[in-house]
Every structure is written in C-alpha cells, then in structure tokens.
Amino acid sequence: MIGIENITNNNGWAMAAVGAAIVFMGLVVLTFVISQIHKILKLWEEREKYLDRFKKKAPAVEGDEFEVPIYKECRLPTVDELANTYRPLVEKLKEPFVLSQLFEIASKIDLPHPHLSIQRLQEADILVAQGDGTFTWNNLIGNEGLNNV
C-alpha cells in the first residue's frame, strides 16, 4: 500500500502532529527553565538582601497599627471652633462678601482645610447666602456658638 492511504492507515498524520507538538513543547519548557536559571541563582545569592528588606519592613507595619492617635490628631474641629476661627476673618471683610474672598484670606494664614470649613459654616447657617452670590455672617449663631442657640 502506498500514498495517502498508507499514511492514514498507519496513523501517520497523528504520529507526525503529536510528535512535532511534543518535541516543540519539551524544548519550549526547557528554554523557559534555562532562561530562568540565572535569575533564580541571582535571587538565591542575594537572598540576605531580600530577607533584610523584608525584616525591616515588618516592624514598620506593626508600628503603624499602634499609632492610632494619628486619627485623633486629625479630628475635625467643631462648628463652634470653626466659627471662632473664621469670625475675625469675616470682620476684616466688608459684608456682604463672596466666599472666594474668605477662602483667600483663610488660605493665606494657612488655616487647615478652608474649603471644607467654609462649607460646614454654610451648612450650619453661620454663613448666609444673600441670593446674589454674596454671603453675610449670621451674628445670632456665629457669635454665640451653636450650643447657645
């Protein structure tokens, strides 16, 4: 028997395809492994350096966990405290004023979070909108504090 029939009857197509695939796969795996040998060796030879780095990092993480007071330091001031801080600034401005003026003065003297603080004063009705884009200071609340209202 000769020709394609002989190839088919003797499973030639499958032998050729499987054989080629296996040898290719084998050498690809070997290629990958040998391309990694020098990297693995480098890692092994410098293991002390990596271990030291790991050891140094570990206590730092533990320290962070214990420094909970950081959050205490970062607590937001109350509205009363904000009103006391911002009232002298408003007094410098001519009423009605625009919020950008107040923001500018607060930023100049490095008050923390001026944008957020002004927003809270607005929400507490200490800064009252006049309807034309300007604001005034609500003396009733702003001078005596929320607790006294």
Partner 1 sequence: MFDLFLQFLSNTGYFLADYRHYVMIVVGCIFLYLGTAKKYEPLLLVPIGFGILVGNIPFFKGFGIGIYEPNSVLHYLYFGVTSGVYPSIVFLGLGAMTDFSSLLAQPKLMLLGAAAQMGIYFTLLGALFFGFDPKEAASIAIIGGADGPTSIFLTAKLAPHLIGPIAIAAYSYMALIPVIQPPIMLLLTSKKERLIKMPPSRNVSKKELLIFPVAGVLLCCFLAPTALPLLGMLFLGNFLKECGVVNRLANTAQSAIIDTATIFLGFTVGCSTQADVFLTPKALGIFFLGAVAFSIATASGLIFAKIMNLFLKQKINPLLGAAGVSAVPGSAREVHLMGLKEDPTNFLLMHGMACNSSGVIGSAICAGILWSFFI
Rounded to whole angstroms, how far apart are CA atoms 114 and 105? 9
By the rule CB under 8 A, 19 interacts with partner 1: yes
Q: Tell the smallest beta-carbon distance from residue 42 to partner 1 (Å).
A: 9
Q: Tell the smallest beta-carbon distance from residue 50 to partner 1 (Å).
A: 18
Rounded to whole angstroms, how far apart are CA atoms 79 and 126? 9
* Of residues 74, 97, 77, the one with CA closest to residue 146: 77
By the rule CB under 8 A, 146 interacts with partner 1: no
By the rule CB under 8 A, 88 interacts with partner 1: no
Q: Tell the smallest beta-carbon distance from residue 53 to partner 1 (Å).
A: 23
Rounded to whole angstroms, how far apart are CA atoms 75 and 91? 27
Contact present, 102 and 63 (Cβ < 8 Å): no
Q: Tell the smallest beta-carbon distance from residue 60 to partner 1 (Å).
A: 34
Rounded to whole angstroms, how far apart are CA atoms 13 and 59? 63
By the rule CB under 8 A, 43 interacts with partner 1: no
**Is the Cβ of residue 7 or residue 146 nearer to partner 1 in the bound state?**
7
**Interface residues toward partner 1, by CB under 8 A:** 1-4, 6-7, 10-13, 15-17, 19-20, 22-35, 37-38, 41
